[in-house]
Amino acid sequence: MFTPLVIINRRLTTAARCKRRVVVTGMGIVCPLGIGVQNAWQALINSKSGITKLTNPEYDKLPCKVATEEALNDANWKPNNETDKRDTGVAVGIGMIDLIDVCTTYEALKKGYNKVSPYFVPRILTNMAAGQISIKYGLRGPNHSVSTACATGAHAIGDAFRFIRGGETSVMICGGAEACISPLAIAAFCRLRALSTNKNDFPYEASRPFDKDRDGFVMGEGAAILVLEELNHALERNANIYAEVLGYGLSGDATHLTAPSEDGTGAILAMDRAVKDAGIETVEITFINAHATSTPLGDGIELKAIESFMGQHSKNVTVSSTKGAHGHLLGAAGNLEAVFTILAIKESVIPPTLNLHNLDTETSLNFAPNIKKNWNTTSRRVALKNAFGFGGTNACLCFAQYNE
């Protein structure tokens, strides 16, 4: 029998406050599993790993403009008239700025004031990804940026969802990007004892969510962008609909700079608020794409939080973490994994958790260790996507199969 960690009032008193429905009509990906949504998705469900060993301190940035272009093409939405441009906004964030760029610029300053690039400040501002997208495509709707550590991408999607549902705009380009791998960043996370170090010679085995031999996360880079759209707007132009966004929940752990609250309160509150926002019951949820980064502490707490929240329904819920295949993309994690959650809904397939061989938590939850699972359900497919960040910031998104 499970013991609830936190008692939650399940009355749907905060159910969706607006009738405007929001759907996903376009997606784009640049990530360790590949460039392009289908390339990355096929690699994931075929149990391939995109994690490799770092052999050179230099790296190529993975600009979010590549994923944005794919998402807009996928949605067939590149507005030309002024009305449509004003009705399309952007919500894209990053988790961290480029630390090496800061250090290099400081060294340049020592050689002289004129050695500092006039583009230095625009390069390190966290809202510039959203700004660049808005400028490139002439989008004059809400221009919004999120920077909430590893919850950035999920918060960006959730905020975009609320902009549309609340009537501020009809279309939002949203997600996150991250390109911060450098010797300094690696050293800093190692000093936090956050990174995996036991599998340096076998990198594809290093990220192992929920497995008893996990010893930390593997840093990844990339971008994932989604096009969210008000339902009637999408139907009027006969857009392809991947899934529906039902709800969004946020919370704070109020506990520690880097560690989650031990009783899982923050995770439970975020999931509860997302489900209440969606106006559904927990029994409708049968898949959860976990945040699970492969850290000894975090993965176990999240599983206990999920089981506490789902209660007796836990036996009908499958939990997976795709980070086993692509590592942890920090500020681009929640949005990349949201894309995989949406594809899981669309194709009725639950992606695997790679390197999960020995679960170290007693639980009635179900898993998809190392190979994909068919998502069998007698009702519509409904999923949650969790994302948590340093500072105790939490986000949860609720997606569902689109039904007319």
Residues annotated as catalytic are 150, 291, 328
What is residue 319's DSSP assignment? Answer: E
Instruction: Kindly provide the residue ranges of all beta strands, DSSP E only, lying in 83-213, ordered along the sequence.
Output: 88-94, 143-144, 171-178
Strand partners, 227: 26, 173
Whether residue 143 contacts residue 90, with contact meaning beta carbons closer than 8 Å, is answered with yes
Q: How many whole angstroms separate alpha carbon 379 and alpha carbon 381?
A: 6
- Provide DSSP, 188-247: HHHHTT-B--TTTT-GGGT--TTBTT---B-B--EEEEEEEEEHHHHHHTT----EEEEE
At residue 67's C-alpha, the angle toward residues 333 and 397, to 5°, is 40
Give residue 391's identity as a one-letter amino acid code. Answer: G
What backbone phi and psi angles, to 5 degrees, belong to 135? -65, -45
Residue 367 near residue 319, CB atoms below 8 Å: yes
Judge whether 149 and 260 are in contact, CB under 8 Å.
no
Beta strands per DSSP E along 65-111: 88-94
Q: Degrees (nearest 5) of the Cα angle 306, 273, 216?
A: 40
Q: What is the DSSP annotation of 37-76?
A: HHHHHHHHHTT---------S------HHHHHHHHHHHHT
